[in-house]
A = this chain, B = another copy of it.
């Protein structure tokens, strides 16, 4: 299946070469594009003075004593012989996955708000398209959750799915797992009720105790990672993974967190992106709420007590406050604003990379044939669906 574009192949390779948020690597891609960036990393292409200058300017290191690219080339060198993007993409296909890149329609433009930290690509498992930012809410928290935290998470997550949001979390024990589980339990068969953003490869079920859950998410939701299959979930990757959770969604909620907790890192990423952050209050005697209270006290987070509060923070579906860049790029997405709930369900049921039939859609979306046919007509008019030889598929404008 040699249909992968050179950009796709290059990004697949670079995602193994670069650690997440490798600013020099990502800056090089921004400067010369992924294909030439890979050739430079592989020493197949010499780097001229102009590129070096552009890169140093982009990185804000124009006056630094050392050339950042030189250091990075040295850092990347040991990994160059291991690069085998065709093999990684073949693995991905065996997992029924796909590579989502800025060159593809499915690319979540919300990630571009990360600017210099925008991931090189996303390795994705799951059949549905990644919902737009406006329809995603992140629900995260400590691994050592209390019964209180689990209970609040269940209600929040279920309430968000009922309101039409997909729930993004990190697949960890505790709050994360509960958020995924409740989303799966509350979802009908349409849409992507939950997205787990992993620190390691999407074929690595980590932590092991959540393997069953992660397998279910791969089938009924989405597993995302910026590192290729087989990658280990290192501490650095965990911290960087949090920025993706924050960037993908319209709102980030911390249900329980200790005074020092990784969940606070996610909250700070969201706040840095200008995304609203919610924190669930709890007993002042609970160490697991101390981090939430800290976020409330320092003004990073707004107090949220239920899914309605979270939805209010996120803004209306499709009409949430976006960063400037995202606002610009998100125009097509925001055209969904005027859609009725049934039409949104039809849209959710439409695959991006394959075609489906009206019959299948009635089952996937839980709607009548009449509603599906009417919805498809309206979506086609809106430029969001198209009829192909095999049936209907989603179209992103």
Contacts and interface: CB of A to CB of B under 8 A. Distances in A.
B283 A282 contact: yes
Nearest to A280: B284
A280 B283 CA distance: 9
Interface string A253-292: 0000000000000000000000000001111110001101
Interface size class of A (residues with CB under 8 A): 20 to 34
A306 interface: yes
A139 interface: no
B303 A297 contact: yes
Contacts of A289: 281
A293 interface: yes
A75 to B, nearest CB: 43
A67 interface: no
Contact of A281 (B152, B281, B302): B281
Contacts of A296: 281, 296, 302-303
A206 interface: no
A179 B304 CA distance: 27
A166 B292 CA distance: 29
Name which of A152, A293, A303, A304 has the most chain B CB atoms within 10 A of its CB: A303
A386 interface: no
Copies in the assembly, this chain:
2
A63 B306 CA distance: 48
A305 interface: yes
B280 A305 contact: no
Interface in A145-172: 148, 151-152
A303 B303 contact: yes
Contacts of A303: 281, 293, 296-297, 303
A215 B279 CA distance: 43
A297 B302 contact: yes
Contacts of A297: 302-305, 309
Contacts of A293: 281, 303, 305
A302 B297 CA distance: 6
Nearest to A156: B284
A148 B281 CA distance: 14
Nearest to A304: B297
Interface string A306-334: 10010000000000000000000000000
Interface in A352-386: none
A262 B285 CA distance: 25
A184 B292 CA distance: 32
Nearest to A312: B297
A292 B283 CA distance: 12
A257 to B, nearest CB: 13
Interface of A: 148, 151-152, 280-285, 289-290, 292-293, 296-297, 302-306, 309
